[in-house]
Amino acid sequence: MLVDDDLPHAKVVLADRGYDSDHIRNVIISRGGTPVIMGKANRKIPILVDTITYALRNRVERCFNKLKCSRRFATRYDKTAASYLGFTHIIAARLWLKSLST
């Protein structure tokens, strides 16, 4: 799991079933967060998950899918973080304007 110590600690970590392991859950808890990860079907002891919060993960995934419609964003042509962030803002503004017109 990629964890950057320079970033603020997340209060809630939303992830899909691919991240369902005790080690990942323990790292999230040790950093002060709450893991909201659906358990795999073969987990011996089921773990309860806040389904309302977990449903928000779908919104984030749909947002990234819309952003990736721009080839430049999906393939990461920009070399610097600043230009990549700038193009991300352009895509987000375009999506927002498109949502206003419909």
Burial of 28 (0-12, 13-18, 19+ CB in 10 A): buried
pLDDT tens-digit series, residues 2-54? 566 666 778 888 888 888 989 989 988 988 889 999 888 888 888 888 888 88
Virtual torsion, Cα 69, 73, 76, 82, nearest 10 deg: 180
> Which pLDDT tens digit goes with each residue over 48-99?
888 888 888 888 888 888 888 888 887 878 888 888 888 889 988 998 998 8
Query: How much is the pLDDT for 60?
Result: 84
- The reported pLDDT for the residue numbered 63 is 85
